A and B are shown apart, each in its own frame.
Chain A
Amino acid sequence: MVTGLRSFDELVRSSERRLLRLGVMLTGGVHSAEDLVQTVFARAHRRWARISAMEHPEAYLRTMVVNEFLGWRRLLKNSEVPLAEPVDQPSGEDISARQAQRDAAWRLLAQLPRKQRAVLVLRYYEDLSDNEIAEVLGVAPVTVRTNAARGLATLRDSLPTDEER
């Protein structure tokens, strides 16, 4: 039936696009992001009575998206399809060095362990503090910092430097 439908619909409308963007950053693809967000909306609908009573249901949905991403990818671990092309060197001379660096960073992100990627997305895309990220992930802040450091180290070691370009 339609009990509470309007409110749920409003939440979907107001948060769908933002969650899809977050989903793209986490999964690396729009199709995967759509699947991720729709799965979360389906779960949220089933728990709507509880979620609707929350002070910040949008934040809870964000947490659901991140945790769904972590669990969802875990389930698909053995059959996971690479979400981006392997890192290669920029070839077009017309591509700026910075653009090449961004492209390489995007591809490297797809190869990071899921939790490291999630931490970097939440820190640098969602602009959350490490304490806030810890709340979202349900881990200690030190774990957030460890994952961030490892993710950044991987990027640092793999990204072409000015001298290498």
Chain B
Amino acid sequence: MTKLTDDDLGDLLRETFTEKEKETLADHLPAATRRRRTGPVLLAAAVVLAVVAGVLYGVNRVDRPRQTTPAATITASDDADIWAAALTAMARRFEPSSGWHGLVVLDLSDVGQDHVRKGPDFSTAQKERIAATVGDVAPVEWDTDITSASCRNRQAAQLQVGDIVNKGDHQEVLVSISSGCLYGYGQTYRVEKRDGVWVVTGTVGPGTGTWPALDCLMTGKSPASPQAGC
């Protein structure tokens, strides 16, 4: 019986590793690595509006996702890029003429009434990817306390994202934004991959929330005071 020599085994191992590399990670991570999402997805856009009243500013609901086959494999990095695209769109949408001084992204993955995302915590790698993109708008900070973030800085925006809903040919994700204590808004964005880059291609349904100075911010004017509105 002929036994394999060390050189034979070395060649075999090189072939084996090369084959496994091609199988599992040649281009994208396999579909099996897609983060599992269970059950109907209820996305409630909620940001605290008032220190005294603590009013929930808005709720948005995304219907149960259609049972569609993913058009392409989506990795944890893709998730981060999808969130980053939606966060950037929302931050840009309400960006005051003087710009945001900072963006606080809330990492509230636990199940809570005011939390729009129910999935697992952002990974460190995901945070870095998100911050790298959204950081083009303003410096990004992370917070896990919705209460502390809600009113502490009127020149910064607080943002949350919901779980990503796979719609087959595109993805949908809810983003909520608040600033100061009286500004809050939620909107579901449609995100598609074009030329290898995830980009926002539209909105889904009406946005909800309370934004006293919404009109003036939408027209590019800055409110005299966040709480007083325009």
**What mask results when residues 1 to 27 of chain B are scored 1 for a CB within 8 Å of chain A, else 0?**
111101001101111110111001100
Chain A residues with Cβ below 8 Å from B14 are 124-125
Beyond A9-B128, A16-B77, A102-B15, is A152–B6 a contact (Cβ under 8 Å)?
yes
Give the distance in Å from the alpha carbon of A70 to the alpha carbon of B1 in the complex.
35
Query: Is the CB of B131 closer than 8 A to any CB of chain A?
Result: yes
Task: Identify which of residues 18-53 in chain B touch chain A, using a CB-to-CB cut-off of 8 Å.
Answer: 19-21, 24-25, 29-30, 32-33
Query: Is the CB of B141 closer than 8 A to any CB of chain A?
Result: yes
Please state if B4 and A156 are interface contacts (CB–CB under 8 Å).
yes
Query: Is the CB of B193 closer than 8 A to any CB of chain A?
Result: no
Beyond A2-B135, A159-B4, A161-B2, is A124–B10 a contact (Cβ under 8 Å)?
yes
In the complex, which residue of chain A has the Cβ closest to the Cβ of B130? A9
Give the distance in Å from the alpha carbon of A25 to the alpha carbon of B20 in the complex.
8
Task: Identify which of residues 182-196 in chain B touch chain A, using a CB-to-CB cut-off of 8 Å.
Answer: none
Please state if A20 and B25 are interface contacts (CB–CB under 8 Å).
yes
**What mask results when residues 176 to 220 of chain B are scored 1 for a CB within 8 Å of chain A, else 0?**
000000000000000000000000000000000000000000000
Give the distance in Å from the alpha carbon of A152 to the alpha carbon of B5 in the complex.
9
Please state if B125 and A16 are interface contacts (CB–CB under 8 Å).
yes
Query: Is the CB of B74 closer than 8 A to any CB of chain A?
Result: no
Chain B residues with Cβ below 8 Å from A9 are 128-129, 131-132
**What mask results when residues 64 to 77 of chain A are scored 1 for a CB within 8 Å of chain B, else 0?**
00000000000000
B-side interface residues toward A, CB under 8 Å? Answer: 1-4, 6, 9-10, 12-17, 19-21, 24-25, 29-30, 32-33, 76-77, 123-125, 128-129, 131-132, 135, 139-141
Further 9 A-B residue pairs, CB within 8 A, beyond A24-B24, A30-B33: A9-B129, A24-B20, A30-B24, A34-B33, A42-B124, A120-B13, A124-B10, A161-B4, A162-B2
